[in-house]
Every structure is written in structure tokens, then in C-alpha cells.
Amino acid sequence: MSEISSPKEISAQLYRYDRIADKWNGFENWGKDQLEQYRKDGYAAIEHVLNEKEIEDAKRALYEIIFVDDKGVHIQFTKPSRELKTEEERELAVRKVSEFVDRDERFKQIAYHPAILAAVRDILGEEPRLVQDMALLKPPHGGGEKPWHQDMAYGSLAYEKAVVGVWIALDEAALDNGCMHVIPGSHADGATPHYAVRDWQICDSHVAVEKDVAVPLLPGGILMFHGLLKHGTPYNLSPKKRRALQFHYVGTSVSKLTPKEYKRFFTNEMSGAEC
């Protein structure tokens, strides 16, 4: 694949928009068939999980952390915060908010949502343990891409058994504002080397873009996915916000990979392969 650089080129060439994931309506339909689909495809999309109050509470909590009192929560900006003079500039520069569950009850209620935990427990086959919480923001007119990757390639999620990610739309996540894209069944390929290109990512030329399936979600919809599923989100070039929560869970019996194991699985240090 030839080198591509502009947001429009990346969005057009590394993602496709004509294949849409099947989705279930609410957790009342969760059962054996859905669990089998998750195991086969590496993901399951469920609409109408959070109610309107839970969605609005999460949005309000995010606003307060970014603009009123950060409560010691980690906020990642795309430029130095001292350069952000207006509320609009500040909002447009926030990429990620993390480590908030223990600092705000509204987020804790979602992270430990009974229906979500029950499904994660089914997937893991044991009691789940929350190991990461974050909000991922794509502001209008240029919210950044998250290139194709596997979540377990990030050191904080490098465990010796599968991690389960739960991605929750707070705004409508649509085809034009950076919804999730997945490669069904790619978790079965195992760990893939990642490279520091636009992010810590799978090499663009190693992504099977032809297999990409988009997962648009309404506010309150969720995507549950295997920690080795290859996925990414294109730029938000629309005039709409795209805010999402993401939680990661592991089983209580799981241990972290050693540094040597991590290098062998997720880097090119052992093979010398190049991107």
C-alpha cells in the first residue's frame, strides 16, 4: 500500500463503510447464540444498554472533569493545556480521559453495570476484574484516528489470557464521525507485531481492509470485543461530537505477560520484521 498521510486519504483507504455489523437489541436477548457469535467473530454489538439518564450522567461527569474539577483524573490533550484559552479550544484538544471510575460514582455505576458484568462473566468464564477505564473523544472537524491495533498490544493490557473490552457510545457513533471498525474473527490470528507509526499500531499494509466491518451505534449502545480483535476508528471529519467510554476486564485468575513474552508477541524485536 502506498504511503498515505491526509485524514481524508486515511479514512478512505484504510476503512470501508459498506459492511455493517449485525447488532442485538438489549441484553434481554443475550444468551448462548450471542456468546457463540462472540467467540467466533471476536465481538458482539448490543444496542440500548444504557438508558437516557445514564448517558446524560456520563456526559455531565465528563464535562465537569474537563472544565470544572478534574478530581485528579488523567486528561490527555493534543496540545499543551496552557495554550487553550477558550472552552471550545479545550474541548477540541481533549483526546482521552482516564482513571475516573474510583473518582466519580456516575462512571462507577456504568463500569459495574449488572447486565454488562453478567455478559463479561459469561465470556471470561470467571469473575471479571476491571483493569482499565477511559473516555475516548473525537471532537468535530478532525477528531483523530485510532489506527488499527489490538488492545492487548498495549502494556497495561498485556495479560496471558484474553481481555474483554467494552466500548460504549455516549453520542451516536456513525459512519461519518468515527465509529468502531473491526475485522471479524481476527482475534483467532493471535498477537500481531505493532509499530510506532501514527500511534502504536498494526502496520497499515498488514491490515486486511477488505474484511473491515463498521459498527455504528446509537447512544447507549455497546461493543464487547476480544483483546486481540483487530480494530480501529477513522477520523471524525463531521460537525458532530463522538464521545465514548471504554472499559477493559480480565478474569480474576489472570496474570500479566512478562516483558520478554510481550516483546515476542507484540513487537518485531525477535523477528526484525519491518513495517
High-pLDDT (> 70) share of the chain, %: 98
Q: Is the pLDDT of residue 24 over 80?
A: yes
Q: How far apart are CA 87 and CA 90, in angstroms?
A: 5
4 pLDDT tier (thresholds 50, 70, 90): low
CATH code of domain 7-266:
2.60.120.620
pLDDT surpassing 90 at residue 187: yes
pLDDT digits (tens, 9 = 90+) for 30-79: 999 999 999 999 999 999 999 999 999 999 999 999 999 999 999 999 88
Within 8 A by CB and 6+ apart from 174, the residues are 216, 238, 240, 242
229: nearest Cα among 211, 216, 245: 211
DSSP single-letter state for residue 172: -
Of the pLDDT bands very low, low, confident and very high (cuts 50, 70, 90), residue 274 is confident
Q: Are 203 and 209 in contact (CB under 8 A)?
A: no
What helix, strand, coil percent values describe the chain, rounded to 5? 35, 25, 40
